[in-house]
Amino acid sequence: MSTTVDLTRGAIESIDSARHIDDILGLGDHLRDALWRVESANLEPYDTPGGLVVAGMGGSAIGGMLAREALGDRASRPIMLARDYALPAWATPDTMVLCASYSGNTEETLAVYEAAGALGAQRIVATTGGKLADGARAEGVPVIPLPGGFQPRAAVAYSLVVALEVAGLCGAGERLHAEIDVAAAHVEQMVEMWGPDAPGDSLAKELARGLNGTIPQIAGSGLTAPIAYRWKTQINENAKLPCFHHELPELDHNEIAGWQGASQLGRFSAVFLDDSDLHPRIRQRIELTRGLIEAEAAGTYRVESVGQSRTERLISLVLLGDLVSLYLAVLREVDPTPVPNLDRLKSALARG
């Protein structure tokens, strides 16, 4: 584990064999390409009073979580996730079901696809291919084709935009097409501020150095709650580290008590993801909670979103977390792309 790496492009490329950094830095282009792919699918508007269910796992599920918060009070019908083998018990034939699987072979999502068909619910598929694409095309179910060559977690822009656009098409929320386009330009400015060519004391690099050698706890609320989960999963997969997330104000009713023994067990750090639109009492809780756990933590950090619209601010923190997780991988001298334990589990399940 290095503490002296400069986190320059050269240092990153020496560790990042598959150039995962390029996928992170391409977030703006991915947002634009995702809009084009949805438009090119020529989807028809549907009126589904039962709302929208986004079925997916891992990197394919995060889009639904983020889309729900990007919409906020602009959502007019329920937007829920199915992250299992079954639809929610309340789903009806007038529910739209978006089945998202980057590989097209995610067994949980395939099961939900079949369940939605048996129910008679309207379905849309987003995938690169696999069994999901084959089944959808055979049944005349619309398919939004995703580009190949990514790790599923790197396709976050696609899963977000597809979920937002389908929400608009089925009447679950406003169409945010223009807002997404503006956010794409905004995130490119953030790349200049936080990317590999930014100074060594830039926010993303400083955060990675501060979190290095610790077990991070990421906290969010409202808009930033699903982003806290995204940070956790990115640190898990890219940096190969344990990492946990929670939501305010709930963590102040339980997790805060656990910090009393943190320093006796190891080095734990805390990152609080803030946003200008959070409830004033939540923002007050962030500072109070930081103060109360500070003595037991290896470091505490408050990070605020950047941007005007909800979509801009959300995507700014997604980018920041992705970069922090990759910089952590470089500092730990571990290749961010391979996920051998996930691969072994999938192989074992396929055999069983």
Residue pLDDT, tens place only, 8-41: 999 999 999 999 999 999 999 999 999 999 999 9
Q: Report angle CA 119, 123, 129 to the nearest 5 degrees.
A: 125
Fold of 196-332: Rossmann fold (3.40.50)
Q: Strand (E) positions, 225-328?
A: 244-247, 268-274, 299-304
Percent helix, strand, coil in the chain (nearest 5)? 55, 15, 30
Residue 169 confidence class, pLDDT cut points 50, 70, 90: very high
125 within 8 A of 141, measured Cβ to Cβ = yes
The answer to whether the 22-175 and 196-332 domains have the same CATH topology is: yes
CA distance 352 to 348: 6
> For residue 249, is pLDDT > 90?
yes
Q: Which residues are catalytic?
A: 237, 253, 346
> For residue 1, is pLDDT > 60?
no
Model confidence pTM above 0.85:
yes
Question: What is the reported pLDDT for 343?
Answer: 83
Query: pLDDT tens-digit profile of 170-205?
Result: 999 999 999 999 999 999 999 999 999 999 999 999
CATH of domain 22-175: 3.40.50.10490
Written as six digits, the tokens of 37 are 């792919």
Written as six digits, the tokens of 116 are 């939605």
Written as six digits, the tokens of 247 are 């939501």
Q: Which residues, in sequence order, are CB contacts of 80 under 8 Å at separation 6+?
A: 51, 52, 53, 54, 88
Average pLDDT, the chain: 96
Please identify which residue in the block is written with the tokens 């849309």.
Answer: 124
Query: pLDDT tens-digit profile of 124-160?
Result: 999 999 999 999 999 999 999 999 999 999 999 999 9
CA distance 20 to 150: 9
> For residue 346, is pLDDT > 90?
no
> For residue 91, is pLDDT > 70?
yes
Nearest to 184 by CA among 19, 309, 43: 309
Nearest to 60 by CA among 117, 113, 114: 113
Residue 142 three-state SS:
coil
CA distance 106 to 70: 26
Boundaries of every domain in the chain: 22-175, 196-332
Query: pLDDT tens-digit profile of 205-222?
Result: 999 999 999 999 999 999
Could you give the percent of the chain with pLDDT greater than 70? 99
One-character DSSP codes across 166-232? HHHHTTSB---HHHHHHHHHHHHHHHHHHSTTS-TTSHHHHHHHHHTTSEEEEEE-GGGHHHHHHHH
Query: pLDDT tens-digit profile of 317-329?
Result: 999 999 999 999 9
The total number of residues written for the chain in this structure:
352
Secondary structure of 65-113 in HEC code, one letter for each residue: HHHHHHHHHHECCCEEEECCCCCCCCCCCCCEEEEEECCCCCHHHHHHH
